[in-house]
Amino acid sequence: MAKKFHISAFSKGLYSNWFWHHPSRTLFDCGEGFATYAGNFIFGVERICISHACHGDHIGGLATFIGIRNSSRGDKEKPLDIYYPGNDVAILDYQDFIKRRFGNWLTFKINWHPTMFGEKIPLDSNHWIESFELSHTKRSSTIGYKIIEGRSRLRAKWKGLDIPALLKNGLDKSQLNENYNAITLAYCLDAFRIDSNHIVNAELAIMDCSFLNVADRDESTHFSLNESLALCAASDVKHVVIAHISSRYDNKKIQDATDNLSPEDYTVIWPNKVNEF
Ligand SMILES: [Zn+2]
Ligand SMILES: [Zn+2]
């Protein structure tokens, strides 16, 4: 069944997180279990955007991913692009292991991209990914990624006016519209603070909602559900994805905490299963 946002996802705080956005062929984080899910469709991923490598739940599936991509049927020479926080030394261990494990028999090239905040990753003529800062752990930077679509709209000063008449009276057609950037997806795992400019008006924001109750949190590294929802409401996010829920909560507790949220505006990523939405 085709789902609205064309995303497959697994997210369980501390265990594993991965979000496969099919239209952009991008995998956000590569927690364990991704390759098992993707199977022969693994070539549907052209790039992996790692938020932080210092926490295994966001990168633990990378070696399996590369091994399966190397041995599956498909376009084996297609390079793989991997983006990760440039100051995250944990990635060096993964790179080293992959180099030693796969060495000369890797059939494709891995392009490793150390990434800082505010970098642009091109997708196609009017889409790109931009990296931004998430406040999370002191061990390294944590990167959020947003997919941007370049769009055009009627300038505010012409709204409600008779456009054909204006054009007839000599208005230059090129003056009608202005270009603007729309955030179609914002990936925000893991975080306890985000500059709202990075998610404002986003069509979809994938949010760290580790704690259903703020009182359960001992260290400020993750949002609580209500903090995430309040930030998204204040930033006019159109659809919120509730993710990275702590394993301390069973389905009944998650159900109770999210029962009053309209499925039109919110998606719960249930831990312990792959979610398609
Ligand atoms: Zn995590
Ligand atoms: Zn983390």
Amino acid 123: pLDDT: 98
63, containing H or E segment: helix 62-71
Confidence of residue 76 (pLDDT cuts 50, 70, 90): confident
pLDDT tens for each residue of 214-261? 999 988 899 999 999 999 999 999 999 999 999 999 999 999 999 999
Considering every ligand atom shown, identify the ligand nearest to the alpha carbon of residue 12 and give its number.
Answer: 1
Distance in Å, CA 135 to ligand 2 centroid: 10
d(CA 38, ligand 2 centre) in Å: 23
Is pLDDT at 209 greater than 90 in this prediction? yes
How much of the chain exceeds pLDDT 70, in percent?
99
pTM of the model: 0.95
> If phi over 0 gives left and psi between -120 and 50 gives alpha, with beta otherwise, what is residue 24?
alpha
Q: Is the pLDDT of residue 2 over 70?
A: no
CB distance 239 to 266 below 8 Å: yes
Surrounding residues of ion ligand 2, Cβ less than 5 A: 55, 190
CA 95 – CA 155 distance, rounded (Å): 48
